[in-house]
Structure 1
């Protein structure tokens, strides 16, 4: 394969990664607190042998996450909570707290506040939040303070972190590679959920663009393959 083939294949690989990212965004367009992601294309210039020009190859090995807030909608469920502005809820992780914007909470059998996938929600000190089973009323103030029958039982842990250090994991949570800090000025809203920040229409349109670009690249590769085969045949006939 000559240099043009390697250049085209590198572009095709990047487009496939972008296609998968867009498809994942569309699949999560209705997932509460989901943050869309995309692929960053960069140019990798490789020096060749002395006297030969360099070769430029596309790379798309890094994904970026869009942390634009999603729309907040009222639900009437007292265990639904949304963050207004920056910040993430602290939730349980296998090897330390994780961060999420998905605030569709509920109670498990032990009276602990948990996420939709069963992770325990943590307070500002990193401990699980337990609601007394005999409580008749449950409320969450704007500063995250939780009260049962009018008595404080904890405060939601809300943290901020450098977006560039956040690594997406499963279950719509993030791991903060460089740590996180408490968000003392964060405000939350009870009886509400934050939706995904994905615009399905926009993502579908971009998906079609990427698919067309990939198909054009495939046609180029097929043309290059035929050109090389033709050259080989002509060389063979000339001997």
Structure 2
């Protein structure tokens, strides 16, 4: 009886996690280069069932429920939208832009940039975009960015190159906010990317599929309601059992 209560309660907690993650994905469906979050689950309290307490040979397993194991990143590429804004860039292929933050370097697929008052290329939060030498990019005249990420002056001379980096496992990057990432031990350290091309005047859209997320949201809501009803029934049955046992003399 208690096992049924635990299973239903843990199912509700799991559904709440699904609802939170799915709602966050839906809220960022129009955020430039947003990468959707996905959930990973694992069995909880998987215990071997023994025929007799003094026998060591198990006859099966007993799994109480599943629990949230991790929230990880769906690093798949989104579609591209043409903006014709010369400050917008999209990475077609593998890689992340590098940005200078207060506590280190961040990485992002969002290339909707602008120039600040000092002429530095920055993102929407004011973080400076870095070149391949980890130096902030500053423009003192007009420029052209080619498909390989090289920044050239009006006569074609190379000024610098965008710093584009990749990771062994981008899905293990730590998300900071909505579109910024930092490396982890599991993701590996940044290495210079080579399988990409830069699209000027484009931005990468979110990789969230609104229809799929709505289906996930509805499924999680319905499963939560079912688990809630199961919990109520188990609780009422247990209360009735306790009452009947207590009335025995």
Greater alpha carbon shift after TM alignment, 7-16 vs 20-29: 7-16
1:172 equivalent in alignment to 2:182: no
CA 1:206–1:111: 2 relative to 1, 3 Å: same
What is aligned with 1:220?
A: 230
Q: SS of the residue aligned with 2:160?
A: strand
What is aligned with 1:73?
A: 81
Cα separation, 2, equivalents of 1:55 and 1:160: 39
Offset at residue 55 of structure 1 (A): 4.0
Q: Is 2:75–2:171's contact at 8 Å kept on the other side of the alignment?
A: no
Offset at residue 49 of structure 1 (A): 9.3
Offset at residue 176 of structure 1 (A): 1.0
What is aligned with 1:31?
A: 31
Pick from 149, 163, 168 the counterpart of residue 144 of structure 1.
149
Greater alpha carbon shift after TM alignment, 1-10 vs 187-196: 1-10
How many residue pairs get matched? 236
Structure 2 counterparts to residues 146-165 of structure 1, below 5 A: 146-150=151-155, 151-161=157-167, 162-165=169-172
Q: Unaligned regions of 5+ residues in structure 1, if any?
A: none
Residue by residue, what CA displacement relative to the aligned partner does 1:26-59 show, whole Å, maximum 9, x if unpaired?
0000001001112112213343897577443211
Cα separation, 2, equivalents of 1:230 and 1:48: 31
Q: Unaligned regions of 5+ residues in structure 2, if any?
A: 54-60
1:111 equivalent in alignment to 2:86: no
Residue by residue, what CA displacement relative to the aligned partner does 1:61-87 show, whole Å, maximum 9, x if unpaired?
311221221111110100000000111
Normalization by structure 1: what TM-score?
Answer: 0.92
CA 1:17–1:232: 2 relative to 1, 3 Å: same
Normalization by structure 2: what TM-score?
Answer: 0.88
Residue by residue, what CA displacement relative to the aligned partner does 1:114-170 show, whole Å, maximum 9, x if unpaired?
1111111111111110111xx2x3321111111243443321110111224311111
Cα separation, 1, equivalents of 2:202 and 2:150: 16
CA RMSD of aligned residues (A): 1.9
Q: Is 2:80–2:203's contact at 8 Å kept on the other side of the alignment?
A: yes
What is aligned with 1:203?
A: 213
Residue by residue, what CA displacement relative to the aligned partner does 1:98-121 show, whole Å, maximum 9, x if unpaired?
111100000111111011111111
Cα separation, 2, equivalents of 1:68 and 1:183: 16
Cα separation, 1, equivalents of 2:209 and 2:14: 22
Structure 2 counterparts to residues 115-126 of structure 1, below 5 A: 115-126=123-134
Residue by residue, what CA displacement relative to the aligned partner does 1:175-230 show, whole Å, maximum 9, x if unpaired?
11131100134211101111001111221111001110111001100111111111
